[in-house]
Chains A and B, each alone.
Chain A
Amino acid sequence: MTLLHWATISPFLLAIFIPFFYKYLKKIHTGWFVLILPLVLFVYFLSFIPVTSSGDVILRSVPWVPSLGINFALYIDGLSLLFALLITGIGTLVVLYSIYYLSKVKEKLNNFYVYLLMFMGAMLGVVLSDNIIVIYVFWEVTSIASSLLISYWFHREKSTYGAQKSMFITVFGGLSMLGGFSLLYVMTGTFSIREIIANVELVTGSELFLPAMILVLLGAFTKSAQFPFHIWLPDAMEAPTPVSAYLHSATMVKAGIYLVARLTAVFGGSAEWFWIITLAGLTTLMWGSVSAIRQKDLKSILAFSTISQLGLIMSLLGVGSAAYYFNDGDNALYTVAILAAVFHLINHATFKGSLFMTAGIIDHETGTRDIRKLGGLMTIMPVTATISLVGLASMAGLPPFNGFLSKELFFTSMLNATEFGIFSLESFGIILPVLAWIASVFTFAYCLIMFFKTFTGKFKPEELDVDHVHEAPFGMLVSPIILGLLVVVFGLFPNILAYSLIEPAMAAILPGILAPGEVFDVYIHHWHGFVPELFMTIAVVILGTLIFLTMKKWSKSAFYQGERDIFNQVYDGGYDGLVKGAQGITRIQMTGRLRDYFMYMCSFIILVLGYTMYRYDVFSVDTSNLSPIDPYMWVISIIFIGSVVSVPFINNRIGVIIVTGVAGFVVALMFVVFRAPDLALTQLLVETVTVVLFMLVFYHLPKLKKEPVNKRLSVLKLIISVGFGAIMTMVSISAFAMGSGAGFPSISEYFIENAKELAGGYNIVNVILVDFRGLDTMLEILVLGIAALAVVTMIKLRLKGSEDV
């Protein structure tokens, strides 16, 4: 265990002590104890920047299950460091914010911080691990922690619904991903990502390439809320706002992005990877931005906006993967998409985090997040309004904020993609910039709606539940102010990030593209000249404003009124259908009638045995070895068959018992014929005792009724029983034929030869029973003993409340 390992699991360790802090230090808000950890971790991870920016990596491995090749291996390169900084940095701010957001008195803070720390540790584990199984383990912990946090107010029905939904969808994806990882292991024989990348030709050349890719992508898409798996994210907004800001905008939803970025080196360069990711991303972008426009709840708008921004990053990763097709790092045409993705990843985390926090502040101070009830808050909450303005302008892509820069880069890379001339891009490539542009128009429009509906217009105090609306306390404003400042700083001086964070991250996403010693050319320009991107942005601003200004016209439409995504109906319908279907099947099949179960079993035996006999042609008749039939045997058979067959037809208790007795005594007679005197003796004795027993309980048993005639049932019973009998006859005949035809001597030769020499007995059967195979006999005695005890117990034991005493 190195320091890095301890750092990764430190949130889990701290989580253990949270309940103690909560219980014994009640005066201090538990969050203050938590706050130190992410701050220390953030500083600790900052210390790695010189390492990664010089192009080095750090690998620390501790064996976990060495026999399976599963090691707790941690790996720091540009990409994982970037994510680690996001997780710890925003984690610090979110914890600080939550201290002021969550009441010390009313809330169960111990639960909250345990879940949050659990999540933080798991997320660090996901981004730092090199071993895919370890990644999977941490991945599922993030799902669990996320569900716990969504259902933090578990007495609310919507919270538990949202938690359940996110759990189902992300765990479904997580399991698919495990399948994909297993396929990667099958192809390469290792669980280490670095080794998989080093042996990437084993993957690209394999026929399992596509299945593995799709399974892994299912995991990434469900986690990162890509279309059509995005439906869980808006329902996850039932979580407390710090959680929404942390998990559902900055970190967890980026786990899928991380995975895609990490595995670009494995799957990149193929047309499938390019098109699936680009199209999924663009569809998500489009769908999210259009859906965001019709939301009335601040957090719902932000949720859909997160979905759409994640789609944007995803599509950039898709376009950037083409670099592996050309295998050429010098040409900025291919790598600019990766640059844009990494840059927007940082930007999104900053402005979306601050926007969630301001939404939380508005909710906290006014008691509602409904934009129809809000308005005119600009003068009442000036600080909040300013932070929101900065965040929204950045999200909309306005200069001079960082969102503008990444949006320009986004347009550039989508336009570039049309010039690649691969993967049929020359014919279909034009849809990429067009979709991107339309989505940006809607993004601009919902940013306008969000700002102007909340902060301008008429203040409506009568709609709000709180008496006095005022600006939030300073402590609550610190985190959004810091994030807002970062938005401005990164917007004005983007190149402070260029070679410290962005270039190492690009090099980590695209390893092996550059010749050793080279670096990617990262310089983010504010001004490109009069290029198409600029005109696209201007058109976005004009059209977006138009949409906002005409809002009165289209806000009456059904489109605006319906908020819920159509895919929710698919999910809900599927869920209900599954439950109802399972109930229906159970009701049909589990009747509670023993007869039905017995029919299933018998039918199954008949079908399996019959099919096997037919399929493998195992039924054989060998008449060469048959023993002759003695004439008196016919008489015995007729009596036996007669007595057995008459049993079902007799509706008279004493008659049935006598007829069964006859059958038993005839069996004893057959044992005589077959030269088995011991059997005959035992059978006679046992049959007598059985008949006596039947007679004993006879008085207590009900009269046999004639079974009510049900034609269909009787036919079914007849078919099953005759089928079973026929199968048993065939089994018996062919077992005999095969036994006599196989030519193996019977093991009984040994018993016959040695019964006298070894055991000193003449009766071979008895010698076998008590000497050669005495254990059987001992246990059979045990069976009899248990049966006797059970009989006594059943007769003697009278439980309270039973009907007879």
Chain B
Amino acid sequence: MEILMSIMIGIVFTVSIYLFLSRSLLRVTLATLLMSHGVHLLLLTMSGLQRGASPFLNFQADAYTDPLPQALVLTAIVISFGVTSLLLVMAYRTFKVHNTDDLDELRGSADE
């Protein structure tokens, strides 16, 4: 399963990098969203998947799934949510102010 997941992570990264390289600001915002999915899955995969029961002591199982990566991913999800929403509003404001979302048109500034 880990190898399958790794391949999927690779695909997510491929697509998000490809989106990062596009001209539309909306696509770049979506790329950050996708890349954070890739990173979260990578965090989980690296420690091994499905090593036992869900990390609830109520189950009284012999083995539990590693809880630490889950805690890390939970933190990461919240933070990337904050970042994504910020970026989204920024994209919206940029479009409002500059009337374009084309990054090639947005490049440079007057006092460069």
Mask: chain A, 565-584; 1 = CB below 8 Å from B; 0 = not: 00000000000000000000
Contact check, A725 vs B10: say whether CB atoms are below 8 A apart: yes
Q: DSSP class of A's interface residues: helix, strand, loop or mixed?
A: helix
Contact check, A648 vs B112: say whether CB atoms are below 8 A apart: no
Number of B residues, CB within 8 Å of A: 86
Interface residues in A638-676 (C-beta closer than 8 Å to B) = 640-641, 644-645, 647-648, 653, 656, 660, 663-664, 667, 670-671, 673-676
Q: Does A464 contact B (CB under 8 A)?
A: no
Given contacts A721-B14, A725-B11, A736-B45, contact A802 B77 (CB under 8 A): no
Contact check, B88 vs A697: say whether CB atoms are below 8 A apart: yes
Contact check, A736 vs B11: say whether CB atoms are below 8 A apart: no
The one of A625, A633, A660, A693 in contact with B4, judged by C-beta atoms closer than 8 angstroms, is A633
Given contacts A592-B112, A679-B73, A732-B45, contact A791 B89 (CB under 8 A): yes
Alpha-carbon separation in the docked complex, A773 to B37 (Å): 23
- Inter-chain contacts of B33 with A (CB < 8 A): 660, 664, 690
Contact check, A717 vs B10: say whether CB atoms are below 8 A apart: no
Q: DSSP class of B's interface residues: helix, strand, loop or mixed?
A: helix
**Nearest 6 A-B pairs (CB), nearest first?**
A725-B14, A729-B10, A787-B82, A721-B17, A732-B6, A592-B107
Given contacts A674-B44, A728-B38, contact A762 B56 (CB under 8 A): yes
Given A740-B48, A752-B57, A791-B85; 5 other pairs, CB 8 A cutoff:
A660-B33, A667-B41, A763-B56, A780-B78, A791-B86
What's the nearest-Cβ distance from chain B to residue A330, in Å? 72
Contact check, B107 vs A728: say whether CB atoms are below 8 A apart: no
Interface residues in A722-764 (C-beta closer than 8 Å to B) = 722, 724-726, 728-729, 731-733, 735-736, 739-740, 746-748, 751-752, 755-756, 762-764
Contact check, B8 vs A641: say whether CB atoms are below 8 A apart: yes
Contact check, A776 vs B81: say whether CB atoms are below 8 A apart: no
Mask: chain A, 208-225; 1 = CB below 8 Å from B; 0 = not: 000000000000000000
Alpha-carbon separation in the docked complex, A705 to B50 (Å): 42
Alpha-carbon separation in the docked complex, A124 to B12 (Å): 69
Contact check, B18 vs A721: say whether CB atoms are below 8 A apart: yes
Contact check, B18 vs A648: say whether CB atoms are below 8 A apart: yes
- Inter-chain contacts of A428 with B (CB < 8 A): none
Interface residues in B66-107 (C-beta closer than 8 Å to A) = 66-68, 70-71, 73-75, 77-79, 81-86, 88-93, 95-101, 103-104, 107
Q: Does A500 contact B (CB under 8 A)?
A: no
The one of B19, B51, B52, B107 in contact with A594, judged by C-beta atoms closer than 8 angstroms, is B107
Given contacts A602-B17, A751-B68, A764-B55, contact A803 B99 (CB under 8 A): yes
Q: Choose the segment among A70-78, A162-170, A452-460, A681-689 that binds chain B (4+ C-beta atoms closer than 8 Å).
A: A681-689
Contact check, A718 vs B18: say whether CB atoms are below 8 A apart: yes
Interface residues in B31-48 (C-beta closer than 8 Å to A) = 33-34, 37-38, 40-42, 44-48
Contact check, B7 vs A701: say whether CB atoms are below 8 A apart: no
Alpha-carbon separation in the docked complex, A805 to B37 (Å): 36
- Inter-chain contacts of B45 with A (CB < 8 A): 732, 736
Interface residues in A541-595 (C-beta closer than 8 Å to B) = 591-595
- Inter-chain contacts of B37 with A (CB < 8 A): 663-664, 667
B residues contacting A by CB (< 8 A) are 1-15, 17-24, 26-28, 30, 33-34, 37-38, 40-42, 44-58, 64-68, 70-71, 73-75, 77-79, 81-86, 88-93, 95-101, 103-104, 107-108, 112
Given contacts A678-B74, A773-B71, contact A645 B11 (CB under 8 A): yes
- Inter-chain contacts of A690 with B (CB < 8 A): 33, 81, 84-85
- Inter-chain contacts of A776 with B (CB < 8 A): 71, 75
Given contacts A678-B74, A690-B85, A794-B93, contact A704 B24 (CB under 8 A): yes
What's the nearest-Cβ distance from chain A to residue B64, in Å? 6
Alpha-carbon separation in the docked complex, A752 to B86 (Å): 36
Q: Does A482 contact B (CB under 8 A)?
A: no
- Inter-chain contacts of B34 with A (CB < 8 A): 644, 647, 660, 663
Chain A interface size, under 10 / 10 to 19 / 20 to 34 / 35 or more: 35 or more
Question: Residue among A629, A690, A725 with the most chain B CB within 10 A?
Answer: A725
What's the nearest-Cβ distance from chain A to residue B23, in Å? 6
Contact check, B78 vs A675: say whether CB atoms are below 8 A apart: no
- Inter-chain contacts of B82 with A (CB < 8 A): 783-784, 786-788
Minimum CB distance partner of A661 in chain B: B33
Given contacts A707-B24, A725-B13, A777-B75, contact A625 B19 (CB under 8 A): no
Contact check, B46 vs A732: say whether CB atoms are below 8 A apart: yes
Given contacts A690-B81, A729-B6, A802-B97, contact A593 B104 (CB under 8 A): yes
- Inter-chain contacts of B64 with A (CB < 8 A): 752, 764
Mask: chain A, 166-177; 1 = CB below 8 Å from B; 0 = not: 000000000000
Minimum CB distance partner of A674 in chain B: B49
Mask: chain A, 433-454; 1 = CB below 8 Å from B; 0 = not: 0000000000000000000000
Alpha-carbon separation in the docked complex, A629 to B50 (Å): 10
- Inter-chain contacts of A804 with B (CB < 8 A): 96-97
Contact check, B6 vs A736: say whether CB atoms are below 8 A apart: yes
Contact check, A682 vs B78: say whether CB atoms are below 8 A apart: yes
Q: Does A768 contact B (CB under 8 A)?
A: yes
Given contacts A733-B3, A762-B57, contact A686 B10 (CB under 8 A): no
Contact check, A794 vs B74: say whether CB atoms are below 8 A apart: no
The one of A592, A628, A679 in contact with B77, judged by C-beta atoms closer than 8 angstroms, is A679
Q: Does A65 contact B (CB under 8 A)?
A: no
Contact check, A637 vs B8: say whether CB atoms are below 8 A apart: yes
What's the nearest-Cβ distance from chain A to residue B83, in Å? 7
Contact check, B12 vs A704: say whether CB atoms are below 8 A apart: no
Contact check, A733 vs B2: say whether CB atoms are below 8 A apart: yes
